[in-house]
Chain A
Amino acid sequence: MKNTKSSRRSFISASGALAGGGWLALNAPMLLAAGHAAAKHKSTEKGWSNISAQQARTFAAVVDQIIPPDESPGASDAGVVYFIDNVLGGFMADAEGLLKKGLEELDRQAAASSPARPDFASLSFDQQTELLQMIESTEFFNTMIFLTHCGMFAMPSWGGNRDLVGWSLVGFDNRHAWQPPFGYYDALAVAGEADHVDG
């Protein structure tokens, strides 16, 4: 019978072509833990709640590949690993196995490449990029992209977007109350009308 919840939930990439009519929805890898498990956040002071220090190290390297530091902070400086640690104890709990297996695999491949490179994070930035290019269409990596975006751009109360660096990056001004003009073209149009009236 197909009409039951599949035990192996598959992830759908939100970044590729959206499923039919699915741009009405976000067919993103959203997995809810049973009910509405409260997202617990107690990681910054007492270490990690849901991941090991080694997993945190590998997560940091992966999220910085997705949104790297440049003239503005990258994903790990934005606190995305704290975000991930947090939501693995809440609404993304179902993805824990997938993510941890993916991290282990990355560390294993890094170690296999050279005895001097015990884990993924100790590879050079370019070596990390090459390794991820080989897995960029996997469920694991699509989930990492999704979580990096969420951690970068969600409200800071979720653990990421530290000091609003994600919102600053894209130009989302955290005011939530505005008066016109809102953007360049409406400002120009209103100014044009005023000129017209004056002239």
Chain B
Amino acid sequence: MSTAKKHTVFDTRKEVDFVIVGSGASGGILARELSTAGFDVVVLEQGPYRTAKDFSHDEIDVMLRNDMMEHPSWKDPQTFRATATEIAEVTRDGVTPPALYARGVGGSSVHFTANYWRFRPVDFNERSLLGPISGTGFADWPISYEELEPYYTRVDWEIGVSGAPGPFDAPRSRPYPVPPLPVKSSGVLLEKGAKKLGLHAQPAPMAILSKPHNNRPACMHCGFCMGFGCEANAKSSTLATMIPQAEATGHCEIRPLSTVYKIETNDAGRATEVAYIDAKGAQQAQKTKAVIVAANGGETPRLLLMSESSKFPNGLANSSGLVGKYLMANAHSLSQAFFVEPLNEYKSVQVTRIIHDFYENDPARGFYGGGGIDARAFIQASPIFFSETGLPPGAPRWGKAHKDLLRHNFTRRMALLGSATSLALESNNITLDPDLKDAVGRPAMRITYHDHPDDLAMATFLQDRGVDLLEAAEANTIWREPVLPTNVLAHLLGTCRMGADPKTSVVDPSHRSHDVPNLFICDGSSLVTSGRGQPTMTIQALAFRASELIADAARRGEI
């Protein structure tokens, strides 16, 4: 008897209930929730369907050649500029692109570092608390932390988060399902520095299992998390959690190597089908009753802008003109240090302890912002990146002295990463490049980004505190990486923001687009504020919540 898994296949010419564009952090949840509720769902994913057995620790393939991030079938270049007065420069082949995201089933949840901080109540209503900030789109969310809390708890339990409550955490209705991952030397040293300075290092919430949970195994501590896929299925990607459950319902087809280029609409202004290039390079279109775009904060606005028509000349769902605007990346800063004894940061997960003492805005600082500090190996966890970027400025770059530095310090280094707020600015955005197209004629994603001065001030503040912490922990060498305007964006947030007013937002509080009644948008683009640096937990809580609201609306016949 065959044990081969039966895959559900839907006919492109027959209407399904939902097409979901993207299978990542949010798309995977939407697929599982809606198919479990009995709806027929097709998920279009531009990347390949890798599984745990396909992942490797090859630093060249994964980290240098961007195997997880490149389009699988053709070049899909991006362009970047800091301000609208510049002509955007194309990213050279092989250089890390400005908008960082993985392509493949599970999306960036496959290669992410898996920091799972919840937002706090203040992240939802800070505009009301602080008042306006001139020149920015700083705004409250139309929903509160309390409304989202049950869905954060679902992420904890159904996605799988390891952790323990910290002294400043927002209220939670249920404990973490599994305890924190074992502390690493970097975490112990952060605790040591924090104690001396009167700060509070707390266990890091991570979407990596410390104990078996939901039929998945605990982490083997291999050390290849950041940028790599997990071959043990201990990292709680949607590939390891939601996607198999969605497929098991018999109501969900994951269609990989499917690059969407347009959402088609009819004269009534409703979405009718989703056009894409299939694995063989042929044009296809899947008919559907409703569309959910969950393609990430870069690809989602790109697709909506590409879906212009005579009825929607500025792009789909864009009557506000805000599709692609208010891009937020979270500002970052990094300091590195060497210690006397080996830490061996190349082992186990990236982060085991974090500092949230600076989460809140503090007017005494003289600028808006808040953030967190985490102790981690960073990209120098693996030896090529260490040899290229893990030595202090002025260190010999070659020769015997260089070799001795590599020999002594690979096991003795750690980093502190500061992650901060980004203010929403209209001038930071995703647009279609007017000149450059990919191999199938889709306009390239153009990123325009220059941090608000307060974002960089906050990142610098966190770096200063990081250096204090490293000194208090008795590091013997400490250095700062320059805090410069962001030109590589690992977080793509805010580009189809949620709001009650169609003039100032793209989706309503249930993620339905204001302009197209059967078009929903749910991913990082929905965020109104950036949080303090770790957005995925919130993106996924939104996805659980949106799934419920969308399913209810469908059952009521209101889609």
| CA gap between A179 and B379 in the complex, in Å | 21
Residues of B contacting A17 in the complex (Cβ-Cβ under 8 angstroms)? 393, 482
Residues of A contacting B5 in the complex (Cβ-Cβ under 8 angstroms)? none
Q: Which residues of A contact B (CB under 8 A)?
A: 1-6, 9, 14-28, 30-32, 36, 65-68, 70, 72, 91, 94, 129, 132, 136, 145-146, 148-150, 152-155, 157-158, 166-167, 169-172, 176-180, 182-186, 188-189
Q: How many residues of B contact A (CB 8 A)?
A: 79
- Cβ of A182 and Cβ of B347 under 8 Å apart? yes
- Cβ of B341 and Cβ of A19 under 8 Å apart? no
Specify which of B60, B221, B406, B484 is in contact with A182 (CB 8 Å cutoff). Answer: B221
Q: List 26 A-B contacts (CB under 8 A).
A: A5-B92, A6-B92, A14-B389, A15-B391, A22-B487, A24-B490, A25-B488, A26-B388, A28-B64, A30-B94, A70-B400, A132-B398, A136-B397, A145-B397, A150-B384, A152-B387, A154-B58, A170-B383, A170-B387, A171-B411, A172-B346, A172-B410, A176-B57, A180-B221, A182-B182, A183-B347
Interface residue SS majority, chain A? loop
Asked, given contacts A18-B481, A153-B59, A185-B189, whether A68 binds B65 with beta carbons under 8 Å apart, the answer is no
| CA gap between A185 and B96 in the complex, in Å | 34
* Contact string against A for B residues 333-366, beta-carbon threshold 8 Å, 1 for contact and 0 otherwise: 0100001011111111000000000000000000
Asked, given contacts A3-B90, A91-B94, whether A32 binds B488 with beta carbons under 8 Å apart, the answer is no
Residues of B contacting A184 in the complex (Cβ-Cβ under 8 angstroms)? 185, 341-343
| CA gap between A102 and B178 in the complex, in Å | 56
Interface residue SS majority, chain B? loop
Specify which of B59, B346, B391 is in contact with A154 (CB 8 Å cutoff). Answer: B59
* Contact string against A for B residues 169-197, beta-carbon threshold 8 Å, 1 for contact and 0 otherwise: 00000000000001111011101100000
Residues of A contacting B372 in the complex (Cβ-Cβ under 8 angstroms)? none
- Cβ of A150 and Cβ of B389 under 8 Å apart? no
Residues of B contacting A136 in the complex (Cβ-Cβ under 8 angstroms)? 397-398
CB of A156 to closest CB in B, whole Å: 11
| CA gap between A155 and B341 in the complex, in Å | 26
- Cβ of B95 and Cβ of A30 under 8 Å apart? yes
- Cβ of B93 and Cβ of A32 under 8 Å apart? yes
- Cβ of B433 and Cβ of A150 under 8 Å apart? no
* Contact string against A for B residues 376-394, beta-carbon threshold 8 Å, 1 for contact and 0 otherwise: 0011001111111101010
- Cβ of A15 and Cβ of B399 under 8 Å apart? no
CB of A136 to closest CB in B, whole Å: 7
Specify which of A4, A19, A26 is in contact with B90 (CB 8 Å cutoff). Answer: A4
| The 9 residue pairs across chains A and B that have the minimum distance between CB atoms | A25-B96, A20-B484, A183-B185, A184-B341, A170-B410, A30-B94, A185-B185, A153-B383, A32-B94
Residues of A contacting B527 in the complex (Cβ-Cβ under 8 angstroms)? none
Residues of A contacting B399 in the complex (Cβ-Cβ under 8 angstroms)? 65-66, 68, 129
- Cβ of A176 and Cβ of B343 under 8 Å apart? no
- Cβ of B484 and Cβ of A153 under 8 Å apart? no
Residues of B contacting A25 in the complex (Cβ-Cβ under 8 angstroms)? 95-96, 100, 488
